[in-house]
Structure 1
Amino acid sequence: MSLQASQSVPFLAAARAESHATRSAIEAPRVLVAILTPALAPAAERAARASCALCGAPDGGVLDALREAAIQAVDTFTEEAARRFV
């Protein structure tokens, strides 16, 4: 293994660990919502997917659009939850 390749191994391991932590931070609440309030599962799924889509943005313009979509998805989820519980 070259020096450059050996230096990338810790970076990849750290990136993988961060990815798992991020996924868990999003997926655990989504699954909990799906179990406890199945009617909110679709809105929770849309919010989670919109949040995850931010990672794939190829540039700032797309990131801005994805960010707005994620905000809207979370707002929609919150509004649906509020209607259900208020």
Structure 2
Amino acid sequence: MAVREGVRLDGAAPDVLAAARTESHATRSAIEAPKVTVSILIPGLTAAAEEAARATFALRDVPDHRALDALRESAITAADRFATAAGHFSTAGGQS
């Protein structure tokens, strides 16, 4: 998602932007299925999974590179929080 927005903000050629858009659609698909699976199998991780996905999708249509960088950092932090929550869930023997 960040790459797509970066090339858009840089005024990339339409073919480059189209390729980046295709890649971001693949990323979205790669996020959604596991997110739903986690939500079904481990409901205690649903909120963290949703937060990480929302933070990633928030990268779309940013006004400038500064906003993109800030939102990218937020997405990384949200993904780290999800990983930490999953680790805690795992070490708690399935208890959150």
- CA deviations 1:33-80 (Å, max 9, x no partner) are 101100100000000010111122221000011011001100111111
Structure with the larger helix share: 1
Aligned pairs, how many? 77
AA in 2 matched with 1:30? K
AA in 2 matched with 1:49? R
AA in 2 matched with 1:35? I
The structure number with the bigger radius of gyration is 1
Which sections of structure 2, spanning at least 5 residues, go unmatched? 1-17, 92-96
TM-score by length of 1: 0.74
Counterpart among 60, 65, 72 of residue 65 in structure 2: 60
TM-score by length of 2: 0.67
Instruction: Kindly indicate whether structure 1 or structure 2 has the higher relative contact order, using CA contacts under 8 Å at least 6 residues apart.
Output: 2
Moved over 2 A (4+): 13-23
Deviation at 1:14, TM superposition (A): 7.1
Separation in 1, partners of 2:21, 2:66: 26
CA-atom RMSD in angstroms: 2.2
- CA deviations 1:13-42 (Å, max 9, x no partner) are 978755543321111111011011001000
